[in-house]
Structure 1
Amino acid sequence: MHTTRKTALALALAALSLAAPVSAADWSDTALSVRYGERFAEPFGPNDIGKTIIALTHASGYKYGVNFFNADVLISDSSDPAVGGRSGAQEVYVVYRHLLDLGKVTGTSLAWGPARGFGLTAGFDLNTKNDAYSSRKRMFVLGPTVMFDVPGFLNLSLLALQESNAPNGVSRYTYDTHPALAAEWSLAVPGFPLLAFQGYGLYIGNKGKDEFGGDTKPETHVDMKLMADVGALLGGPKGTFKAGVAYEYWRNKFGNDTKGPAGSGATARTPMVRVEYHF
């Protein structure tokens, strides 16, 4: 199937899957966003790639926890070429996470010190990309989560990752199960009620040998954004239209050693602009 058709199908299925459970949710937030940067990087390639990323994001809370879904469509410029080199590569990356709140399940407060509760996180990542490597990633995640008592939210998880890939249509290769320390946050900015500091950070342990027999390296991946509620600032409804700046840092991307053959493209330092429409 052509990549554009895959993209359209992925987003259509995502929208349908999100529509059904909204009525059962205690709260929900769905957004379309666009972000752009000119300093993305890919291993074994340049570290000045322009990308436009279109995303569908959904978060909702119900009686026992929280669901999170995100589908990114990443469109590169010609510095990151598609197979055949006629245009920039296109990628679809899907993330799903479910956080089960153990205090809500048991009906008992598990607040302790700075923690408001504890939970269990599970989910998966999927991707497809039409560059020379042609990634077909699958990853499953599972682990405990601490939920901190802050304005907004701050969660810290210790996860086990089970990842595999089948690049270029070859037999699927499974990496060693490996750990990750993951933080996710959405925090109010003191004194600025219409600003929010949001993002996630990951420290990912090495995943053993890669599919070519080389050693993988631990990864550090941080993606953060400072968003202003522009709609409310202009007198419109609160929480509908947001704009801001973002920054991504990713060292040893996909486990590739930035000091090895993957070169400087294995580390990304990417400022971005971002807009979001919430509905």
Structure 2
Amino acid sequence: MNTIRLAASFALAATFASAAHAADWSDTSLSYRYGTKFSEPYNGADITKHVVNFSHASGYKYGSNFFSVDYLLSDENDPSAVGSRSGAHEAYALYRHTLDLGKVTGKNLSYGVIRGFGITGGFDINSKTDAGYNSKKRMLVLGPTIMFDVPGFLNVSLVALHESNAPYNGFTQKATDRYRYDTHAALFSSWSIPIPNVPLEFEGYANYIGTKGLNEYGAPTAVEINVDMKLMYDVSSLLGANKNTFKLGVGYQYWKNKFGNPSKTVPGATARTPMVRAEYHF
């Protein structure tokens, strides 16, 4: 987990440094989600997971930052080691910075339903202890972004992904040298849309990730689709707190060909996961 901690420290330092100079807005949250229908490639069982998340989003003079860390705790259907009755643990961190080209140039780049254009860059890092793959993902992200003029926000990015992994195979007890996939394209979207006249927000992301060549074992990869949606109700007034402090809601994740594993040949490579969620914003 040392690399996760280092990446988290770097992302937070970059985020708070920019925000400290000219913060227009910020939102930091702790959240929890729970589901019983998670799935992992090469594991056909339904997996129960508890997920604790820390996120920070902020906007400043020239753009915005987003940083998120998930800590995922699986049940015994996703064991931490071969023959173990305890579940796997995973940490997944990501950081994104979007540079708003209109703000940088001082020009109004809006056009019709488009509010502006930007450049988004960042990284993903994960570390997982499980009986089989033991992922150690590293990924760099870079590409243009369109920001749509909607209540809340809707951003769509076309990015290039440079991804590698160096898993330790729990079945063969052998480490894999860091393997670099083909650089590949992805279409990322994220949104947060308030529902008029009620304290509800529709939030989420949808990713369409192209094939990345052969995996580290020489097998072909598949197009990956990951859609995670949530409907959150602001219960702050019921608890005597400021607006948007406490939220409760439900979510659903559809993840096809997870990590590029083709569902046609790999059991557990597609997940359909309803969840309950709770958030505290500060």
TM-score bin (small chain): over 0.9
Aligned residue-pair number:
272
Per the alignment, in what secondary structure is the counterpart of residue 40 of structure 2? coil
- Whole-Å separation in 2 of the counterparts to 1:8 and 1:121: 21
Per the alignment, in what secondary structure is the counterpart of residue 44 of structure 2? coil
- Whole-Å separation in 2 of the counterparts to 1:247 and 1:10: 31
Deviations 1:181-237 (A, max 9, x none): 111000011231x11000000011010000000000001100011001111244421
Per the alignment, in what secondary structure is the counterpart of residue 191 of structure 1? coil
Contact between 2:4 and 2:93, CA under 8 Å: does it hold in 1?
Answer: no
Deviations 1:219-274 (A, max 9, x none): 110001100111124442111111100110000000111110x11x1000000001
Structure 1: any 5+ residue segments left out of the alignment?
A: none
Structure 1 runs (4+) greater than 3 angstroms displaced: 6-22
When residues 164 and 178 of structure 1 are mapped into structure 2, their CA distance, relative to the original with a 3 A threshold, is: same
Amino acid at match of 1:153: F
Task: Name 1:277's counterpart in structure 2.
Answer: 280
CA RMSD of aligned residues (A): 1.9
> Identity of counterpart residues, as a percentage?
59
Task: Name 2:81's counterpart in structure 1.
Answer: 83
Alignment map for 1:116-195 (pairs within 5 Å): 116-131=115-130, 132-168=132-168, 169-192=175-198, 194-195=199-200
Per the alignment, in what secondary structure is the counterpart of residue 278 of structure 2? strand
Deviations 1:7-61 (A, max 9, x none): 9957984796365554332211100001000000000002410000001000000
Deviations 1:80-115 (A, max 9, x none): 000242410000000100000000000000001110
- Whole-Å separation in 2 of the counterparts to 1:13 and 1:57: 13
- Whole-Å separation in 1 of the counterparts to 2:123 and 2:11: 18
When residues 206 and 224 of structure 1 are mapped into structure 2, their CA distance, relative to the original with a 3 A threshold, is: same
- Whole-Å separation in 1 of the counterparts to 2:157 and 2:11: 27
Task: Name 2:105's counterpart in structure 1.
Answer: 106
Matched, 1:268 2:271: yes
Task: Name 1:37's counterpart in structure 2.
Answer: 35
Contact between 1:11 and 1:56, CA under 8 Å: does it hold in 2?
Answer: no
